[in-house]
Structure 1
Amino acid sequence: MEWVEAIVKFVNDFMWDFFLLVLLCGTGIYFTVRLRLVQVTKFAASFKAVFSKIKLRGGAAGKGGMSSFQSLATAVAAQIGTGNLAGAATAIVMGGPGAIFWMWISAFLGMATIFAEATLAQKYRHVSEDGTVTGGPVYYIRAKFTGRFGKVLAACFSIFLILALGFMGNMVQSNSISSAFATAFGANKWVVGALLALVCGFVFIGGVRRIASLTEKIVPFMALVYIAGCVVVLAINARALPGAFGQIFVGAFAPGAIAGGAVGVAVQKAIRYGVARGLFSNEAGMGSTPHAHALAKVEHPCDQGLMAMMGVFIDTFVVLTLTALVIISSGLAGGGLDGINLTQAAFSSVLGGAGEIFIAVCLLFFAFSTIVGWYFFGEQNIRYLFGQRGVKVYAALVLVFVFLGSLLKVQLVWSMADMFNGLMVIPNCIGLLAMSGMVAKLYRDYRQNPLAARAGATQH
């Protein structure tokens, strides 16, 4: 496996040391400016749109789509996963506490990016002859680039997404679940992987109806339980919180000034791992969550854009930040632990053995819901490339990768996920930037004459 690691490292170094940092942050800055700080000016509207529509028993989803909250819940199910628990730990180990600051920056800019993604996904969603609704970046890419270039770009995105999320990404999720259960309960990783694959298969068979029903119930519950657990730990560690924030801000610009795990970490590494893990967590710019937002039944495309922004905020500024503060305040970063094992150790430093169990159970819900969400995103692209005939083969392969992921070592799995995530970003951002005029037009109509805009959007 050494040659695989060498290839993956080479590609990641090339992409993440400069190119993707500029592309992701540049895209976020561009939409932030062009949409006039939409993540600030429409934050209250976004918050109200989300929390006024929470329903644990929404209408049944089907081929015609799902409710706006079900779409958001499916997107958030994919966003809030291993990246929030294990990813935060890996970012701190590899990039120092300052990586969290750069996660915040990338998430702030990403809120504008994901607004554009969700809005375009709604505008260009596809309705087949039998009434089945699908959507995602392939459709707004093809809408802008109608020739051979558009076909190739869309196909590249679909292939990268299937590999990044359906296969490699889901290996990360199962890897962290098996590792957490082995630490907390001494569980056999083979058994955990097999059981996880079995349950996932049951959900996959149920299609969009079962996926929407699952995510709208599990996402609010799992988020509240985990947030409550973090608040308890941080309340006990309250005296260490000022120092933890200090390490984040100092480490963002002068990581060498922090003792421990940040020694020898350059600012460039803090930025690299902050943005990379932030992307893996909130997925803004990747082009994954638009597949869920495209299915929402809303009056105007920008309605779902507002919902999507709050998904990034909850994922990074709430859940991921709480995890990072627990880890940094524990003082265990730099002690040789990494990934989910570091997160478990941080909680155990306060809660004892219950900390390991708490994280293992939370991770089971977080990562399982992410596997379901990512499977669904991949399935949309399988349909685009191969039609319905490819779905069963894809589902079987995902289950195999879920099982195999539970057995591999964590660093290689994370590195491969980073590589394919990065490859996804390129065609998606090309499509987003090329369609920025349409995003600006839709948003302008939405702000200036919302009733007329909604009336004109009913046939999008």
Structure 2
Amino acid sequence: MVMQVLDAIDGFLYYPVLLIVMAAAGLYFTIRMGFVQVRMLPEGLRVMKAKPTEGNGTSPFQALMISTASCVGTGNIIGVSTAICLGGAGAAFWMTIMALIGCASSFTECTLAQVYKKKAADGTSYGGPAYYIEDALKSKGFATIFVVFLLLTYSCGFNLLCSYNTQSTFQTYAFYVANPKLAAGIIGAVLALLVGICVMGGGKRIEKTAAFIVPFMGVAYVVVTVVVLLMHAGRIPAVFGRIFTDAFNFRAIFGGIAGSCLVYGIKRGLYSNEAGVGSAPNAAAAAVVSHPAKQGLVQMLSVYIDTIILCNATALMCLVSGVEPTAELAGAQWVQTSLQAVLGNFGPLFITVAMLLFSFTTLIGNLYYCDNALAYLNHKTMPSQGFLKGFRIYGVIVIFVGALLPMAAAWDIADIMMGGMCLLNLVACVLLSRVAIGTYHDYVAQRKAGKEPVFHAKDIGLNPDELDYWKD
């Protein structure tokens, strides 16, 4: 009964509600800003290399890495596998299309975060959707609802799913097959314990080690993908043919759209890159730049890295292996089986190690990510240490529970919470589109005049007295 309710809510939320809202909002921003995600891509790469305008501030590249690190991980591996196994190979195409459209939404939300960012006592900046909703739309209630969804998404939904995905990578090993429930419980307990040690103030060496290793693991993942593709280069044209044929099989899509490649591509792509969800703006607001649009352009690159490159790497690597994607293999098993077919026993082991490292840092980041949201709800001051400790204990318990959930429940809960967060944020972005579009055109005009753009709030009709920055 519970699963039927979750499935019904999840199905309605993504089709028709979010499918329409995400596509409409992304296309609106794309058209109004002249395909910013394509025309301004070289400019984004240029700005990414800029140093912060203040010596000790966060650079555009650092802010990009913070947001990219939070979304690159399990979604690029498990999310892609689930989408293709349950929705078909065409999911890779629709995932890519929605990512390209979502780039414009990402630019919009991150530019707004910069315009309405706040100044902290130590001189650094912070912000995000809650702040541009409250300050620009004058709606504390709307902002509070968004923050509640953010907390539910990152402390519960994403951690349940991340824990499930991690333990699922052990399903190919003999000890797991012998007693799946016991193995899942042990893996969940160990993962929860390690994360608990870190978020309770200890384990700094573990955190630093993981933070050092994960970037190399990401590079290694790309290298392995390239090796697999080179080994089966002759199959690549047929794989692309299969993806496009499946993507445009509209009879199959509209015959069962809720479970089609179109909807699965949108769901798993959104989970992976988080474009328009409202997470990246929290990192974008910390960057020190001379113009808000600069960070908007840089943050678009995160979507390219996450989905256009890494998600498609997984899709192509698995599809060229010759292992047929089926519902029974959905998740880690298809990726592991595919790599085993090509690289032998090294393949499943490599995916397990990659998932452990990616998920560990993601779980820690998700809980720390909630701190600013808790501060917002607590009259913009950090709650007591006792409260924070209790909240993190709850987060650790969620990680343990996630390892024991059925796959469908883990995905449904994460999808629903993320979908609600995305819907609220995109509505706010559309309502504030005049500000984002005006900021973009101001940037373009200055670049055409041969200037290094500098933003002044009054130039686009904003009252400087209502902002913490951009007054001069």
Q: TM-score range by the shorter chain?
A: 0.7 to 0.9
Residue matched to 2:405: 408
1:256–1:361 Cα change, 3 Å = farther
Deviation at 1:112, TM superposition (A): 0.8
Work out the CA distance in 1 between the residues paired with 2:142 and 2:422.
12
Counterpart AA for 2:342: V
Q: Indicate the RMSD between aligned Cα atoms, in angstroms.
A: 3.0
Q: Secondary structure at the match of 1:222?
A: helix
Work out the CA distance in 1 between the residues paired with 2:195 and 2:291.
33
- What pairs with 1:36-435 in structure 2 (closer than 5 Å)? 36-50=34-48, 52=49, 66-129=58-121, 131=123, 133-146=125-138, 150-184=139-173, 186=175, 188-204=183-199, 217-218=212-213, 220-254=215-249, 269-329=260-320, 330-334=322-326, 336-386=328-378, 387-389=381-383, 390-435=387-432
Residue matched to 1:456: 456
1:285-333 CA-to-partner distances (Å, cap 9, x unmatched) read: 1111111111122222122112211100010011000101122223320
1:400–1:324 Cα change, 3 Å = same
Residue matched to 1:437: 434
Deviation at 1:49, TM superposition (A): 3.8
Provide the TM-score with structure 2 as the length reference.
0.86
Deviation at 1:210, TM superposition (A): 10
Q: Is the 8 A contact 1:252 1:267 kept in 2?
A: no
1:455–1:145 Cα change, 3 Å = closer
Work out the CA distance in 2 between the residues paired with 1:215 and 1:48.
30
Counterpart AA for 1:21: L
Work out the CA distance in 1 between the residues paired with 2:111 and 2:208.
23
Provide the TM-score with structure 1 as the length reference.
0.88
Q: Is the 8 A contact 2:192 2:400 kept in 1?
A: yes
Q: Is the 8 A contact 2:3 2:409 kept in 1?
A: yes
Work out the CA distance in 1 between the residues paired with 2:211 and 2:45.
17
Structure 2: stretches of 5+ with no match in the other structure: 177-182, 458-467
Q: Is the 8 A contact 2:83 2:91 kept in 1?
A: yes
Deviation at 1:381, TM superposition (A): 1.2
Deviation at 1:373, TM superposition (A): 3.4
Identity %: 36
**1:21 and 2:1 are equivalent in the alignment:** no
Work out the CA distance in 1 between the residues paired with 2:222 and 2:282.
27
Greater Cα radius of gyration, structure 1 or 2 = 2
Quick check: 18-27 or 116-125, which moved more?
Answer: 116-125
1:66–1:10 Cα change, 3 Å = same
Q: Is the 8 A contact 1:284 1:312 kept in 2?
A: yes
Structure 1: stretches of 5+ with no match in the other structure: none
Work out the CA distance in 1 between the residues paired with 2:454 and 2:205.
30
Work out the CA distance in 1 between the residues paired with 2:59 and 2:452.
22
1:218–1:22 Cα change, 3 Å = farther
Counterpart AA for 1:271: L
Q: Is the 8 A contact 2:185 2:403 kept in 1?
A: yes
1:350-406 CA-to-partner distances (Å, cap 9, x unmatched) read: 111111001111112222232233333322211111342253333222222122212
Deviation at 1:220, TM superposition (A): 3.6
Q: How many residues align?
A: 442
Q: Is the 8 A contact 1:125 1:139 kept in 2?
A: yes
Q: Secondary structure at the match of 2:318?
A: helix
Work out the CA distance in 2 between the residues paired with 1:204 and 1:67.
26
Q: Secondary structure at the match of 1:388?
A: coil
Counterpart AA for 1:157: F
1:183–1:127 Cα change, 3 Å = farther
Quick check: 267-276 or 287-296, which moved more?
Answer: 267-276
Deviation at 1:200, TM superposition (A): 2.7
Quick check: 30-39 or 64-73, which moved more?
Answer: 64-73
Work out the CA distance in 1 between the residues paired with 2:70 and 2:317.
23
1:1-54 CA-to-partner distances (Å, cap 9, x unmatched) read: xx321211111121112111010111110111111111111111223444x479
